[in-house]
Chain A
Amino acid sequence: MQGILNVISLDVAPFILSFKLAGVTTVILFVLSLPLAWYLSQSSSKTKPVLEAVTALPIVLPPSVLGFYILVVLSPNSAVGAFFEDLFGVKLVFSFTGLVVASCFYSLPFMVQPLQSGFESLNKHMLEASYLAGKSKLQTVFKVALPNIKPSLITALIITFAHTVGEFGVVLMVGGSIPGETKVASVAIYEMVEVMEYGTAHIYSAFMVLISFIVLLSVYIFNHSQRKIGVL
């Protein structure tokens, strides 16, 4: 009985925050990554390896390093942070906005790389046929390129979303664990464990696993059905 009561009085704020953060980050990253991924796929310039290495950095860097640098560079005591706060009134640390910025850095390669890969695997002649049909590069990206990389697109969106839901080290550094604003599920669960409230930690964790599994399952089922139709 007590267990059920506990569930009912469960504080859902951390979950909502986690999924909200993941959703917002995924959308923003998609908009930002699309031009970058396209450029990398079409370019053969000498600076390309440099750009690719920089894009891939967040995969390799420990989240605490990333979090630390973001904390220092975006803090209101630094030039960048002060600029944003004075001009736009936007706080880049200890706020949801700050988490979004941090998450965009953290998950960047997970959006860029599948998209870039997808674009690179496209038949170049098909893209040229689009140009010859009078379509600009922008129109070609949206009308020809993207529709033909649906699996890569879905992968990019889902992996970015999932990666952001699981984000911990960066959020811990940059968020300040403020309930309702930066205390995402991963941090809340960590805290439960730290104070030995194992019961609640189990409930939170199970919930996260369940939701994440359902999301991923739906996506893979969708992917599979599209393949059957022959659209993918």
Chain B
Amino acid sequence: MIQIDIHKRLHGAHGDMDLDVSLEIQKGEFIALMGESGSGKTTLLRVLAGLENAEGDISVEDVLWLGDQKTLPPQQREIGFIFQDYALFEHMNVEENLLFVNQDRSLAQRLLEMTELSRLSQRNVKGLSGGQKQRVSLCRAMMKQPKLLLMDEPLSALDPAMRTKLQDEILKLHKTFGITTIMVSHDTDASYQLADRIWVLDHGKIIADGRPEEILVKSTKEVYTLCK
């Protein structure tokens, strides 16, 4: 179980804002984090990863990552992170990107097979397409065998066909490994398909927290209203 209770003052383009989040996540849950741009979604993810500071507590399966006395650096948090711009290691090939995280060759091979990247394993990542890069990014994050997988709009830079494909792969990996996941997304479709639970963040505060059917109504109009 993951317990989050954090507070951080944000300075945004539209003025200052307080990020106040207090939540619990059960092991293996898949959470879609939605909300307007600038509502603090990426910041929340970065705080969880240890890339940014905050006040409060974060504990992950009884290990304190953030508390009064200590802040665990990102190196020591068992996190997998997928950036919106992939952030692959450009001087390495696909396989090396994975092995950089963890030397386990067989795990790397398995992940590459599951994401259909095996034949590209020796290719330098600079030459890959967006969809391929994102899949490498996904595998690389999984190599960590993390307790928490964080994804920052993993699908937004992809074309619709690629988006569907990647969605399927995320689902497949989640079913296979069962890793607790938080995915930031604007894509209501993906959120509905993948998530067990949806959080909606507005001006730094969670204004909705529930199952996809509760939050996302099939009526197009209401979906757009809630998640513009």
Q: Which chain A residues have a beta carbon within 8 Å of chain B's beta carbons?
A: 123, 125-126, 128-136, 143-144, 147-148, 230-231
Inter-subunit contact B87/A128 (CB<8 Å): yes
Count of A-B contacts with CB under 8 A?
58
| Per-residue interface assignment for chain B, residues 50 to 78, with 1 indicating a CB less than 8 Å from any chain A CB and 0 otherwise | 01000000000000000000000111110
Contacting residues, chain B, for A129 (C-beta < 8 A): 81, 83, 87-89, 140
Q: Which of B79-126 contact A (CB under 8 A)?
A: 79-81, 83, 85, 87-91, 100-101, 124, 126
Inter-subunit contact A125/B91 (CB<8 Å): no
Per CB-CB distance, the 8 closest pairs between chain A and chain B, nearest first, are A125-B87, A147-B91, A133-B101, A125-B83, A131-B74, A126-B87, A129-B87, A134-B75
Residue B32 lies at the interface, judged by CB distance under 8 Å to chain A: no
**5 A-B residue pairings within 8 Å (CB atoms):** A123-B87, A128-B87, A129-B81, A130-B89, A131-B73
Contacting residues, chain B, for A128 (C-beta < 8 A): 49, 51, 74, 81, 83, 87
Residue B127 lies at the interface, judged by CB distance under 8 Å to chain A: yes
Inter-subunit contact B75/A131 (CB<8 Å): yes
Inter-subunit contact A148/B126 (CB<8 Å): no
Taken together as a complex, chains A and B put the C-alpha atoms of A110 and B126 apart, in Å, by: 30
Residue B144 lies at the interface, judged by CB distance under 8 Å to chain A: yes
**How many whole Å from B39's CB to the nearest CB in chain A?**
20
Among A132, A134, A230, which residue has the most Cβ atoms of chain B within 10 A?
Answer: A132
Contacting residues, chain B, for A144 (C-beta < 8 A): 89, 91
In the complex, which of the residues B73, B83, B91, B144 contacts A133, with contact meaning CB atoms closer than 8 Å?
A: B144
Q: Which residue of B lies closest to A128 (CB)?
A: B51
Contacting residues, chain B, for A143 (C-beta < 8 A): 100
In the complex, which of the residues A130, A132, A134 contacts B49, with contact meaning CB atoms closer than 8 Å?
A: A132
In the complex, which of the residues B79, B85, B90, B91 contacts A132, with contact meaning CB atoms closer than 8 Å?
A: B79
Contacting residues, chain B, for A123 (C-beta < 8 A): 85, 87
Inter-subunit contact B75/A126 (CB<8 Å): no
Q: Which residue of B lies closest to A143 (CB)?
A: B100
Inter-subunit contact A230/B87 (CB<8 Å): no
Q: Which residue of B lies closest to A232 (CB)?
A: B91
Q: Which residue of A lies closest to B79 (CB)?
A: A132
Taken together as a complex, chains A and B put the C-alpha atoms of A130 and B79 apart, in Å, by: 12
Taken together as a complex, chains A and B put the C-alpha atoms of A134 and B88 apart, in Å, by: 15
